[in-house]
Amino acid sequence: MTNREKYNQAFIETLEITADQLGDDLTYQSIEAWDSVGHMQLVSALEDAFDIMMDTDDIIDLSSYPLGIEILKKYDVEFS
Amino acid sequence: MLLQDRVCLITGANRGIGQATAQRFVDEGALVYANARRAGSLDALVEKNKEGQIIPLYFDVTNTQTLKAAFLRIRKEQGRLDVLVNNAGIMKDALIGMISSELVREVFRINVFATLEALQFAAGIMRRQKSGSIINFSSIVGVEGSVGQSVYAASKGAVIALTRSTAKELAPQGIRVNAVAPGFIDTALFHSIGEMRVASVSKDVGMGRLGTPEDVAGVCAFLASDLAGYVTGQIIGIDGSARL
Ligand SMILES: NC(=O)c1ccc[n+]([C@@H]2O[C@H](COP(=O)([O-])OP(=O)(O)OC[C@H]3O[C@@H](n4cnc5c(N)ncnc54)[C@H](OP(=O)(O)O)[C@@H]3O)[C@@H](O)[C@H]2O)c1
């Protein structure tokens, strides 16, 4: 599985959405499931998927689907 | 045994209450990641527990990156964390008018900020397993107040507030958060108030003796265990009926 696929899967599974909902419009609180509880579940899923532990500032900053990719790059996760 | 195979992290475990708690947890069957900031200061504890039940982790709890690395290591090695004991703490006294902002920062950095930071990292792991016990360290001084100890008291009062709030927030995820509030416990920290004051305050203990680190360790073992499975958000005094 590529990193992009792992990333997408974390969103799809924790927020219970479909692949066509992934994109620039997917932001924190833009859908019901991405509330504060869903956010922490998403963080856990990303940490598990990439075997990392995110800094508190990054957890706060992870406010959209595209921003998450930028944040993960800081943890040496490469996206092609 | 109360804590068979539980994975625990205890901060400030090289002496005093932290050391006694680490030993008690091992005696109850736990695997203990013991933290200290001075390299080599856990050698005696490791040596005493030859079967590897103590894993030393050297870092300063106020350093976010090394603190985080410790939690990451535990997650990688064990895949879980059952108990966090936020024991590391300092006591610095100063009378009103002589309280420097550096003193306030130093005390809060260790007693409050590091406690909260460790709690956040621990909760991140415990959330996945939907269980866990976090034990914070307050003090009788944080409950009742004490002359010359406004800063220390405020820091330990903050620990009470954060214990109560985080317990409410984490309860739905099966994570319990409690605090202990020791009275006068016979450690270097307590003796730092000076032997004359030690002698005078010791007289104010209803049970007629100072507490031992083991007295506190026993309560921590209880709070960490399933015996306390329905206990959260509590501040447990361990003071032999001491008065301030
Ligand atoms: N003793 C009492 O009467 C009493 C009463 C109420 C509450 N308490 C609380 O109980 C806890 C333990 O106290 P104690 O009596 O056992 O004190 P202690 O004998 O002075 O031990 C304190 C421990 O915390 C460690 N520590 C301090 N700052 C640290 C840091 N930045 N990073 C990592 N470790 C650090 C110390 O390490 P070093 O050896 O490197 O200094 C030591 O291991 C404290 O939170 C204290 O406030 C104690």
Percent of chain B with pLDDT over 90: 98
Answer whether B19 contacts ligand 1 (Cβ < 6 A): no
Confidence of residue A80 (pLDDT cuts 50, 70, 90): confident
- Kindly indicate whether the domain formed by B7-236 is annotated with CATH number 3.30.70.2610: no
Residue of A nearest to B172 (CA): A37
Cβ B143 vs Cβ B243: under 8 Å: no
CA–CA distance, A76 with B8 (Å, rounded to integer): 29
Q: Please state the ipTM of this predicted complex.
A: 0.84
CA atoms in the 13 A half-sphere facing the CB of B184:
25
Among A53-57, B130-134, B216-220, which stretch is predicted with the lowest mean pLDDT? A53-57
Percent of chain B with pLDDT over 70: 100
How far does the centroid of ligand 1 lie from the alpha carbon of residue B115, in Å?
Answer: 12
- Mean confidence (pLDDT) of chain B: 97
Residues with Cβ within 8 Å of residue B200, at least 6 apart in sequence: none
Pairing of strands B235-238, B83-86: unpaired
How far does the centroid of ligand 1 lie from the alpha carbon of residue B174, in Å?
Answer: 28
Mean pLDDT for A31-57 is: 95
Cβ A60 vs Cβ A36: under 8 Å: no
Six-digit token string for B95: 């009378």
pLDDT in tens, B54-107: 999 999 999 999 999 999 999 999 999 999 999 999 999 999 999 999 999 999
Is A44 in Cβ contact with B127 (below 8 Å)? yes
pLDDT in tens, A56-77: 999 999 999 999 999 999 999 9
B114-129 and A36-50 are packed helices; what angle lies between their axes, rounded to 10 degrees?
A: 80
Any chain B CB within 8 A of the CB of A52? Answer: yes
The beta-carbon neighbor of B71 closest among A40, A43, A53 is: A53
Q: What is the pTM (predicted TM-score) of this model?
A: 0.95
- Known catalytic residues of B are 152
How far does the centroid of ligand 1 lie from the alpha carbon of residue A48, in Å?
Answer: 33
The alpha carbon dihedral of B99, B103, B108, B110 has a sign of: negative
Q: How confident is the model at residue B124, as a pLDDT?
A: 95
Confidence of residue B183 (pLDDT cuts 50, 70, 90): very high
The residues spanned by each domain of chain B are 7-236
Chain A CB contacts of B124 under 8 Å are 40, 43-44, 47, 53
